[in-house]
């Protein structure tokens, strides 16, 4: 129950567990093509969104967005909500971009006005902002931003809107087409519900045009132009080769996306909302305080919780003794003061796993010597979900 890799469904596990098929095998061709089509549904990108599936992880996907869109001297704005937006800013700096950071303390998020001010400041200096980068859910703080006004803001200033959805895609509401977002990246091991190993993203026509306008091409393996003919070929159910895809993961992706779309992406998002509410009810009943400073900043895909009086970092090992794995803190400023629990993907369909997690945390807290009302958390989560 860490915030990725997460539990996966039996069908995804089975699809993944076969002798490695070749990338030209009919099974892989069909699974690849169908996955690309399904990604548009999960991303709500509309038909013009271009999906990419590349071996790698979320960091690879972030790097692809940076490398294809931004070059030396390009002014960009980064909205910081934690460790992963700091990483995005560092990647952008390494491309030579001029990075304007809009920051906030751990558990907070900058206001849209502050982001607008950063855009205005660039304009006053005669610099046209090229792109706005933000992290939909920052896994280090459990803070979720609202991408919609930020995408709108980017549009207003003629900038591309790029979102890191690694801890959000398939779990938090995102309407790529309706909101006018340009790039939404994720990784396979989170709410998409696969083992780790795939970098996944959907890219708008505007973003592809921005890549085409680049004079200096990005490193070859990151270049959308190298991958575009491959994606188009598989979607037309033809094999193609640029670099070997993670074939077992492609088979798993087909099944994972099909499971998400079986009831529809809306229903999947609603399940995550219900789960998020249920887990928050449990934390509140157990007297645990969230890291996000306000209710509307709390993600549905994970919880970041401050250690209560009497408990500390040894709590994570105590919970593991009860057979449930949660994660420690990650944000460097508050690392030893909180822990994190993932509740995304397949787990949202498994009330038993969620209840067991809450029970293990209660037992761990009691073991640490913290005061918790016995059974209160499990009762809260059950009554919210059953």
Binding site for ligand PMP (CB under 6 A): 4, 57-59, 84, 135, 138-139, 164, 166-167, 187
Q: CB of residue 337 vs ligand PMP: minimum separation in angstroms?
A: 19
Is 55 or 240 the residue whose CB approaches ligand PMP more closely? 55
Q: How far is the CB of 9 from ligand PMP (least distance, A)?
A: 20
Cis preceding-peptide flag for 5 (omega within 30 of 0):
yes
Query: Which of 281/330 has CB closer to ligand PMP?
Result: 330
**Smallest distance from the beta carbon of 292 to ligand PMP, in angstroms?**
14
Nearer to ligand PMP, 63 or 254 (CB): 63
Contact call for residues 48 and 232 (beta carbons, < 8 A): no
Check the CA dihedral 211-217-220-226 and report its sign.
positive
Nearer to ligand PMP, 166 or 207 (CB): 166
Q: What is the distance between the alpha carbons of residues 124 and 126, in angstroms, rounded to a whole number?
A: 5
User: In the complex, which residue's CB is closest to ligand PMP?
Assistant: 58
- Beta bridge partners, 198, equal 55
Q: Of 106, 58, 100, 107, nearest to 79 (Cα)?
A: 100
Pairing of strands 338-342, 302-306: antiparallel
Shortest separation between residue 167's beta carbon and ligand PMP, angstroms: 4
Scanning the structure block, which residue is given the tokens 């751990």? 106
Between 57 and 275, name the residue whose CB sits nearer to ligand PMP.
57
Q: Following DSSP, what letter does each residue of 76-138 receive, concatenated?
A: EEEE--SHHHHHHHHHHHHTT-EEEEE---TT----HHHHHHHHHHHHHTT----EEEEESEE
| Cβ burial, residue 348 (10 Å; 0-12/13-18/19+) | buried
**Of the two residues 16 and 286, which places its CB atom closer to ligand PMP in the complex?**
16
Query: Nearest 5°: phi and psi at 335?
Result: -45, -45
Distance CA(299)–CA(272), nearest Å, equals: 9
Please give the Cα distance from 40 to 200 (Å, whole number). 11
With respect to ligand PMP, which residue has the nearer C-beta, 63 or 74? 63
Residue 22 C-beta: closest distance to ligand PMP, Å: 26
Cβ 310 to ligand PMP shortest distance, Å: 29
Shortest Cβ distance from residue 61 to ligand PMP (Å)?
A: 8
């Amino acid at each position: 129950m860490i915030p990725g890799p997460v539990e996966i469904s039996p069908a995804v596990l089975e699809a993944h567990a076969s002798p490695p098929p070749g990338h030209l095998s009919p099974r892989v061709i069909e699974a690849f093509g169908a996955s690309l089509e399904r990604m548009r549904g999960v991303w709500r990108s509309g038909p013009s969104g271009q999906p990419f599936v590349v071996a790698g992880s979320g960091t690879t996907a972030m790097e692809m967005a940076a490398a294809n869109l931004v070059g030396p001297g390009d002014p960009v704005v980064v909205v910081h909500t934690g460790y992963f937006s700091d990483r995005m800013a560092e990647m952008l700096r390494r491309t030579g971009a001029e990075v304007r950071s809009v920051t906030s303390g751990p558990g907070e998020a900058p206001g849209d006005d502050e982001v607008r001010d950063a855009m205005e400041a660039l304009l006053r200096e005669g610099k046209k902002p090229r792109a706005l980068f933000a992290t939909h859910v920052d896994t280090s703080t459990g803070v979720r931003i609202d991408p919609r006004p930020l995408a709108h803001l980017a549009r207003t200033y003629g900038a591309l809107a790029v979102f890191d959805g690694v801890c959000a895609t398939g779990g938090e509401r995102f309407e790529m087409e309706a909101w006018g977002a340009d790039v939404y990246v994720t990784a396979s091991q989170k709410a998409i519900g696969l083992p780790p190993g795939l970098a996944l993203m959907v890219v708008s026509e505007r973003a592809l045009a921005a890549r085409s306008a680049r004079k200096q091409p990005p490193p070859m393996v990151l270049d959308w132009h190298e991958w575009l003919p491959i994606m188009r070929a598989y979607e037309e159910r033809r094999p193609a080769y640029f670099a070997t895809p993670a074939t077992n993961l492609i088979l798993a992706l087909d099944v994972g996306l099909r499971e998400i779309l079986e009831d529809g992406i809306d229903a999947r998002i609603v399940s995550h909302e219900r789960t998020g509410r249920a887990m928050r009810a449990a934390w509140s009943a157990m007297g645990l305080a969230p890291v996000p400073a306000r209710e509307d900043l709390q993600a549905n895909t994970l919880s970041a919780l401050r250690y209560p009086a009497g408990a500390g970092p040894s709590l994570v090992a105590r919970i593991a003794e009860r057979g449930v794995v949660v994660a420690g803190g990650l944000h460097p400023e508050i690392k030893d003061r909180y822990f994190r629990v993932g509740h995304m993907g397949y787990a949202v369909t498994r009330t038993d796993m969620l209840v067991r997690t809450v029970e293990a945390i209660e037992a761990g807290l009691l073991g640490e010597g913290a005061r918790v009302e016995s059974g209160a958390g499990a009762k809260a989560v059950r009554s919210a979900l059953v």
